[in-house]
Amino acid sequence: MKVKLGLLTTIVAAACVWAGPAAAQRGTLTVLVGFPPGGATDVVARTLVDKLKDSLGQTVVVENRAGAGGQIATQQLKAAPADGSVVMLTIDHSHVIIPLTFKSAGYDPIKDFTPLAGVAMYRNALAVNTALGATTMADFGKWLKAHPTTANYGVPAVGSVPQFAGFIVGQSLGTPMTSVPYKGGAPLVQDLLGQQVPAGIGSLTEFIDHHRAGKLRVLAVSGDARSKIAPEIPTFQELGLKGIDKNPWLAFFGPKGLPPAFVERFNAAVRSAMSHPDVVDRLTKMGNEVAVSSPAELQEWVVSATQHWGAVIKASGFQPQ
């Protein structure tokens, strides 16, 4: 009897060791979001959760860890166990720009994480208030030359891609502009509508309804091709303003060292989720453009954005905080 009991104990122990990773994957999967509930990134995450849990066959929950532009949640992801229990949906600002604009972000975007899947891209845009009378980029350039002391532009956050895009615009048009940082896109839009600031750079989604209503004018968008939601608006690139073609993105990352089997499984689940028309429709209405990537492609997005914006930030003279 003792021999049989010992053999049974050994078999059970071995089975537990073998089932460990699978058991972790069958438990609850937490999707970290570094922004408050109701924000754009949070809405995308919650839109995908139901589809992901169906594909993965496990419970998937969203956990908001808002603060510092996503930096707090990204630091939490770095410290998370590499067992497939925690991933993060984030944007290029927290994953790429913060490490370039802070002396110590607390993480390295290339070395400290496992890329899982790109989800979507969106557009930055330059908008002006109607008092300027500018309907084209050429008009705006003339206005800048005539008003160099008030050549200001609002941005949704200090040290953000819109701020550095504005640096490129000013350089390209021959009149340096001064950035005015806001706490988010909403107050920036309100000051544009109220003609408190002449221009602003931010998400096209924030501007487009007001542009269509004639309350402000969007002059250009980022990207190497025109936006599907606003094909009448030219890109910076086609207007001759180089260096603003890279679009911001949303993507999933995990902690460093995730098992390849989990990475493959999760990427497949994201692709399945993004194949549903209702998901695509909701993200498109938010101003996103579906762009599902492989882990290797996502890593290239990170490397490319880091190199590109790193050079622009250095040229702008921005001092890391």
**CA 217, 222, 223 angle in degrees (round to 5)?**
140
Tell me if 18 is assigned to some domain. no
pTM of the model: 0.88
In this structure, the number of other CB atoms found within 10 A of the CB of residue 219 comes to: 23
b/e 185-215 (16+ beta carbons within 10 angstroms → b) = beebbebbbeeebbbbbbbbbbbbebbeeee
283-320: pLDDT as tens digits: 998 889 999 999 999 999 999 999 999 999 999 999 98
Residue-level pLDDT at 8:
41
**Domain boundary residue among 205, 220, 239?**
239
Tell me if 116 is assigned to some domain. yes
Tell me if 6 is assigned to some domain. no
Residues 67 and 137 in one domain: no
Could you identify the residue written with the tokens 């487009």?
Answer: 208
Tell me if 54 is assigned to some domain. yes
Residue-level pLDDT at 210:
96
Residue-level pLDDT at 26:
62
Residues 151 and 186 in one domain: yes
**Domain boundary residue among 208, 239, 270?**
239
Strand order in the sheet with 113-121: 60-64, 29-33, 86-91, 249-255, 113-121, 289-290
Answer for the pair 269, 55: CB distance below 8 angstroms, yes or no: yes
> Structure tokens of 61?
């929950």
248-258: pLDDT as tens digits: 999 999 999 99
Tell me if 230 is assigned to some domain. yes
Residues 213 and 305 in one domain: no
Q: Which residues of the chain have pLDDT under 50?
A: 1-25
CATH code for position 231 = 3.40.190.10
- What's the number of domains the chain is made of? 2
> Structure tokens of 108?
């390295």
CATH code for position 270 = 3.40.190.150
Residues 128 and 143 in one domain: yes
Listing DSSP states for 95-163 in one string gives IIIHHHHSS--SS-TTTSEEEEEEEEE--EEEEEEGGG---SHHHHHHHHHH-GGG-EEEESSTTSHHH
133-165: pLDDT as tens digits: 999 999 999 999 999 999 999 999 999 999 999
**Domain boundary residue among 184, 208, 239?**
239
Domain extent, residue 51, equals: 27-121+248-316
Residues 221 and 137 in one domain: yes
Residues 116 and 132 in one domain: no
